[in-house]
Structure 1
Amino acid sequence: MTAAATDRLLDLFHGVRLTPTQRRIAHCLVQHAATVPYLSAAEVAELAGVSQPSVTRFAVALGHDGYPALRRRVRELTGAAPAEPTAGDNELQRAVRAEIGNLDRLAGQLADRDRIARAGALLAASRPLPVLGLRAAAPLAAYFAYFAAKVHPDVRVLDTGGSLLTDRLEQAAAAGADALLAFVLPRYPRETLDALHAARDAGLRVVAITDSPVSPATDHAELVLPAAVGTDLVFDLHTAPMTLAMVVLQAICDAAPTDTQARLEAFEASAARRQLFIG
């Protein structure tokens, strides 16, 4: 599905206050937009992990007479036909091809450079820069922070939950932080959303990398940067969110090019002096 079709689909939900269950259904529509227009309410309910009556109530909440009317509307908005698998593909190949599709949709979204530039400027100016990622999102937070530390003087990874997490958020704010980068990925840990609430209470502006424009992160973030998660294997694939993380880091570099260059040169000099690398 093209970025334009995604935008048209998201317009269905604009201005509608969705319950958590309805948000799950909306997320399902976005994630499976190519096939949803051809599925029954029961099949959508199974995909979203909700009851069939919940799908019907969701359709009514969006102003439709029922699910069949919503399905017709989604079909009109997306112009989608069921995707045909490449002849001979096995399930592993299909999973990889689905990731290629996720990256292609991300590329389309990046045509709007203003949002990425705004995120980069906000995060580059935060001293320190806290980076939140719990459970499945923790490796992405660590990966981002490893490279961000080469161009930012104080990156703080928050990858452990519990009562100390709020302490660390408040400490970062007290030290001068005014922004937080958060990775919010399915299955959306409750403690992650609690941390986002605490971050806002501490005065931090939240930039969220998440899997969907209708994820629970949207209730807490000033800027939401979506990148779809692959769901065709036993465990999720995070190819697009990781790519988006590096795009955000590029935007941070672009927001402070002089400081970035100076810090990179200092790191290279230190690495050469210590003979860190063999190549």
Structure 2
Amino acid sequence: MNEASARLAGLFDGQRLTPTQRRIAQVLVRRAEEAPFLSSVELAESAGVSQPSVTRFAVALGFDGYPGLRRRLREALRAGERAPADERGELNVYQQAVLAEAARLRALAAELGDPERLERAGRLLAASRPLPVLGLRAAAAEARGFAYFAAKVHPDVRLLDEGGSHLADRVEQAADAGARALLCFALPRYPRELPAALAVARRLGLSVVTVADSPLTPVAEPADQLFVAPVSTALSFDTACAPLLLGRALLEAMCDALPDAQARLERFDERAAERGVFLD
């Protein structure tokens, strides 16, 4: 990545863009020297998108339209704005993505300097029988991973990773069975079913623990226990190493709050060995 490309990349770093909009941004970065002189039609053709998509891209960045964005591109090149990655030398897009993710992990480590909030949430999750774990679409992988490991130490974990009208039913069933808390993974783009399901949980008296990418997430409310782990937007699709790791930290805190967690793990290992579940 040359200096001009790095300057323009800095304009888009951290912006909440759709995959289509990121393709447009990538074209601008690749064609940095000529980017300020491309018409919206030329940019659309180069990115393989429609001209209205280019206009929506400019608006998403806070401009009235594409002409305003083009002026900003010219200013960026003239002013010599630099992306942080450029200070580390010539890096390709994959290296930049890894370093961007590493920066978010360092920020998460700083946030966890005081573990009291995490430990409090762990006790809340441990005490909930059953424990519903909610994550839809982009957040489904984080919810599944947490639920998979949590089931080894918690007696009743219920994974809620599918939307639709039955989602509220499953939240209600968990509450009727005695659930006191719900763990939610909320990552962009947020499905419409998510705030509706959380509203049901709150109405039924469940305490909501949320792992989200931003403190301004639209799905959380002040009464929730909100833990923030930003995603990286360096590639066409978000990378979510920080939310995944934060979920594992919550899992660890929950294990610490379960008096029989170690005994359950040992029983699982013994039974798995008897059945030959694993190769090693």
Q: Tell me whether 230-239 or 219-228 shows the greater mean CA deviation.
A: 219-228
For the residue of structure 2 that corresponds to 1:88, the secondary structure is coil
The DSSP-based 3-state class of the residue aligned with 1:244 is helix
Contact preservation (8 Å) 1:124, 1:255:
yes
| Residue 60 (structure 2) pairs with residue 49 (structure 1) | yes
CA RMSD, 1 decimal: 2.1
Give 2:60's aligned amino acid. Answer: G
> 1:231 maps to which residue?
233
- 1:122–1:87: structure 2 CA closer, same or farther, 3 Å change rule? same
Distance 1:51 1:105 in 2: 26
Structure whose alpha-carbon radius of gyration is higher: 2
User: Counterpart of 2:163 in 1: which secondary structure?
Assistant: coil
> How far apart are residue 51 of structure 1 and its match?
4.6
CA deviations on 1:95-140 (whole Å, 9 max, x unpaired) are 1100000100000000020110011000000000000001111111
Kindly provide the CA deviation profile for residues 155-207 of structure 1, in whole angstroms up to 9, marking residues without a partner as x. 00001111111010000000000100000000111111111111101211100
Please give the residue correspondences for 1:238-253 in structure 2 after superposition, counting only pairs within 5 Å.
238-253=240-255
Aligned: 1:197 with 2:162:
no
Whether the 8 Å CA contact 1:200–1:220 is kept in 2: the answer is: no
**Letter paired with 1:260:** A
Change over 3 Å in CA distance of 1:223–1:28 after alignment to 2: farther
Distance 2:98 2:61 in 1: 27
Aligned to 1:145: 147
1:220, 1:180 → 2: CA distance? 15
Matched residues in 2 for 1:47 and 1:114: separation? 42
1:218 CA displacement: 2.6
SS at match of 1:108: helix
Distance 1:49 1:200 in 2: 32
Q: Aligned equivalents of 1:48 and 1:207: distance in 2?
A: 33
Matches within 5 A, 1:12-51: 49=60, 51=62
Aligned match of 1:260: 261
What does 1:68-107 correspond to in 2, within 5 Å?
83-85=84-86, 86-107=88-109
Q: Structure 1 length normalisation: TM-score?
A: 0.71
Which residue does the alignment assign to 1:182?
Answer: 184
Corresponding residue SS for 2:91: coil
Q: Deviations over 1:201-245 (max 9, x none)?
A: 121110000001111133265200110101010111011100111
Query: Structure 1 residue 273 and structure 2 residue 256: aligned?
Result: no
Residue 180 of structure 1 aligns to a residue whose secondary structure is strand
Asked if 2 retains the 8 angstrom alpha-carbon contact of 1:197 and 1:220, the reply is no
Indicate the SS of the match to 1:181.
strand
SS in 2 for 1:264: helix
Does the Cα contact within 8 Å between 2:132 and 2:179 map onto a contact in 1? yes
Question: In 1, Cα distance between the equivalents of 2:192 and 2:129?
Answer: 27
- Structure 1 residues 267, 48: CA separation in 2 closer, same or farther (over 3 Å shift)? farther
Counterpart residue identity of residue 172, structure 2: E
Q: Distance in 1 between matches of 2:116 and 2:175?
A: 26
| Structure 1 contact 130–181 (Cα < 8 Å) conserved | yes
Question: Partner letter of residue 146 of structure 1?
Answer: Y
User: What secondary structure, in the 3-state scheme, does the structure 1 residue paired with 2:263 have?
Assistant: helix
**Structure 1 residue identity aligned to 2:261:** T
Aligned to 2:159: 157
Per the alignment, in what secondary structure is the counterpart of residue 231 of structure 2?
coil
Q: Residue 144 of structure 2 aligns to which amino acid in structure 1?
A: A
SS for the counterpart of 1:214 is coil
1:116–1:150 distance in 2 versus 1, CA, 3 Å: same
Matched, 1:209 2:211: yes
Identity %: 52
Tell me the distance in 2 between the aligned counterparts of 1:131 and 1:106: 22
- Cα distance in 1, alignment partners of residues 119 and 215 from structure 2: 18
The aligned amino acid for 1:263 is R
- Cα distance change of structure 1 residues 255 and 193 upon mapping to structure 2, 3 Å threshold: same
Report the number of matched residues: 210
Structure 2 gaps of 5+ residues are 1-13, 17-55, 65-81
Distance 1:90 1:84 in 2: 10
Where does residue 13 of structure 1 map in the other structure? none
**2-side partners of 1:253 and 1:206: how far apart?**
18
What one-letter code is carried by the residue in structure 2 that aligns with 1:217? V
